[in-house]
Amino acid sequence: VRDEAGRDVQEMRKVLKESVKGLGPTGLDIFCRRVQGKWEEVFPFVDGRTAKALRGLGLPDGGEGLRALVDVSWGELDGEIVEDGDEEERKRKGFVRILEGAVGAELEGKREVVMERAGKMEVQWL
Protein backbone atom coordinates (compact mmCIF):
# COMPACT_ATOMS: atom_id res chain seq x y z
CA VAL A 1 0.00 0.00 0.00
CA ARG A 2 2.75 2.43 0.96
CA ASP A 3 4.72 1.83 -2.22
CA GLU A 4 1.63 1.82 -4.43
CA ALA A 5 0.62 5.18 -2.96
CA GLY A 6 4.10 6.67 -3.21
CA ARG A 7 4.04 7.02 0.59
CA ASP A 8 1.49 9.82 0.27
CA VAL A 9 -1.01 9.60 3.14
CA GLN A 10 -4.07 10.73 1.18
CA GLU A 11 -3.21 8.37 -1.64
CA MET A 12 -2.73 5.51 0.89
CA ARG A 13 -6.20 6.19 2.25
CA LYS A 14 -7.60 6.10 -1.29
CA VAL A 15 -5.82 2.81 -2.12
CA LEU A 16 -7.00 1.24 1.13
CA LYS A 17 -10.59 2.37 0.63
CA GLU A 18 -10.61 0.92 -2.89
CA SER A 19 -8.93 -2.32 -1.77
CA VAL A 20 -10.88 -3.13 1.39
CA LYS A 21 -14.61 -3.60 0.96
CA GLY A 22 -16.62 -1.68 3.55
CA LEU A 23 -13.70 0.43 4.80
CA GLY A 24 -14.93 3.97 5.26
CA PRO A 25 -13.59 7.23 6.72
CA THR A 26 -13.83 6.12 10.36
CA GLY A 27 -12.01 2.85 9.68
CA LEU A 28 -9.35 4.72 7.74
CA ASP A 29 -8.91 7.15 10.64
CA ILE A 30 -8.48 4.26 13.06
CA PHE A 31 -6.00 2.59 10.70
CA CYS A 32 -3.94 5.78 10.32
CA ARG A 33 -4.04 6.44 14.06
CA ARG A 34 -2.62 3.01 14.81
CA VAL A 35 -0.20 2.48 11.90
CA GLN A 36 1.75 5.70 12.45
CA GLY A 37 3.85 3.96 15.08
CA LYS A 38 5.47 2.04 12.22
CA TRP A 39 4.77 4.22 9.17
CA GLU A 40 6.59 7.50 9.78
CA GLU A 41 4.94 9.23 6.81
CA VAL A 42 1.56 9.09 8.59
CA PHE A 43 2.96 10.66 11.80
CA PRO A 44 1.71 12.83 13.50
CA PHE A 45 -1.91 11.96 12.70
CA VAL A 46 -4.84 12.93 14.91
CA ASP A 47 -8.39 12.36 13.65
CA GLY A 48 -11.46 14.32 14.76
CA ARG A 49 -12.71 11.85 17.35
CA THR A 50 -9.27 11.60 18.93
CA ALA A 51 -8.85 15.39 18.90
CA LYS A 52 -12.08 15.70 20.91
CA ALA A 53 -10.87 13.10 23.41
CA LEU A 54 -7.50 14.85 23.77
CA ARG A 55 -9.20 18.22 24.38
CA GLY A 56 -11.32 16.59 27.07
CA LEU A 57 -8.12 15.54 28.83
CA GLY A 58 -6.54 18.98 28.52
CA LEU A 59 -3.99 17.80 25.97
CA PRO A 60 -3.08 19.41 22.64
CA ASP A 61 -5.61 18.24 20.05
CA GLY A 62 -3.44 18.60 16.96
CA GLY A 63 -0.72 16.30 15.70
CA GLU A 64 2.11 18.82 15.90
CA GLY A 65 1.09 20.09 19.35
CA LEU A 66 0.92 16.59 20.80
CA ARG A 67 4.15 15.65 19.05
CA ALA A 68 5.85 18.62 20.74
CA LEU A 69 4.43 17.55 24.09
CA VAL A 70 5.78 14.03 23.65
CA ASP A 71 9.19 15.46 22.69
CA VAL A 72 9.31 17.74 25.75
CA SER A 73 8.15 14.96 28.08
CA TRP A 74 10.11 12.12 26.52
CA GLY A 75 12.61 11.79 29.36
CA GLU A 76 9.73 10.95 31.70
CA LEU A 77 7.87 8.74 29.25
CA ASP A 78 10.60 6.73 27.50
CA GLY A 79 10.64 3.13 28.65
CA GLU A 80 7.34 3.44 30.49
CA ILE A 81 5.10 3.20 27.47
CA VAL A 82 7.15 1.46 24.76
CA GLU A 83 10.34 -0.56 24.80
CA ASP A 84 11.27 -1.56 21.25
CA GLY A 85 12.56 0.36 18.23
CA ASP A 86 14.88 3.31 17.83
CA GLU A 87 14.06 6.51 19.72
CA GLU A 88 11.98 8.07 16.93
CA GLU A 89 9.94 4.89 16.50
CA ARG A 90 9.43 4.65 20.28
CA LYS A 91 8.20 8.26 20.28
CA ARG A 92 5.75 7.48 17.48
CA LYS A 93 4.54 4.39 19.33
CA GLY A 94 4.22 6.43 22.52
CA PHE A 95 2.20 9.01 20.59
CA VAL A 96 -0.13 6.23 19.40
CA ARG A 97 -0.50 4.90 22.97
CA ILE A 98 -1.53 8.37 24.14
CA LEU A 99 -4.08 8.64 21.32
CA GLU A 100 -5.51 5.20 22.01
CA GLY A 101 -5.69 5.93 25.74
CA ALA A 102 -7.51 9.21 25.14
CA VAL A 103 -10.05 7.61 22.79
CA GLY A 104 -10.51 4.65 25.14
CA ALA A 105 -11.13 6.94 28.11
CA GLU A 106 -13.67 8.91 26.09
CA LEU A 107 -15.51 5.82 24.81
CA GLU A 108 -15.58 4.12 28.20
CA GLY A 109 -16.54 7.27 30.11
CA LYS A 110 -13.34 7.10 32.18
CA ARG A 111 -11.94 10.55 31.52
CA GLU A 112 -11.94 11.36 35.26
CA VAL A 113 -9.91 8.23 36.07
CA VAL A 114 -7.31 9.19 33.47
CA MET A 115 -7.19 12.77 34.76
CA GLU A 116 -6.72 11.53 38.32
CA ARG A 117 -3.84 9.24 37.29
CA ALA A 118 -2.27 12.00 35.20
CA GLY A 119 -2.41 14.33 38.21
CA LYS A 120 -0.21 11.89 40.11
CA MET A 121 2.45 11.85 37.38
CA GLU A 122 5.42 14.14 37.58
CA VAL A 123 5.49 14.82 33.86
CA GLN A 124 5.62 18.54 33.05
CA TRP A 125 3.06 19.28 30.38
CA LEU A 126 3.29 22.36 28.15
CA neighbor of 54 nearest in space, from 124, 9, 115, 7: 115
- The DSSP call for residue 121 is S
Question: How confident is the model at residue 63, as a pLDDT?
Answer: 95
Please list the pLDDT of the chain residue by residue as tens digits (126 residues).
Answer: 999 999 999 999 999 999 999 999 999 999 999 999 999 999 999 999 999 999 988 889 999 999 998 888 887 765 666 667 788 988 898 899 889 989 999 888 888 777 776 654 444 444
Beta carbons of 50 and 102 less than 8 angstroms apart: yes
**Average pLDDT over all residues of the chain:** 86
**Alpha-carbon span 87 to 51, nearest angstrom:** 25
Which pLDDT tens digit goes with each residue over 60-92? 999 999 999 888 888 776 566 666 778 898 889
Question: How confident is the model at residue 115, as a pLDDT?
Answer: 72
- Using H for helix, E for strand and C for coil, what is the string for 39-73? CCCCCCCCCHHHHHHHHHCCCCCCHHHHHHHHHHH
Question: How confident is the model at residue 30, as a pLDDT?
Answer: 96
Question: How confident is the model at residue 124, as a pLDDT?
Answer: 45
Query: Residues in the chain, how many?
Result: 126
- Could you please report the per-residue DSSP string of 19-41? HSTT--HHHHHHHHHHHTTT-TT
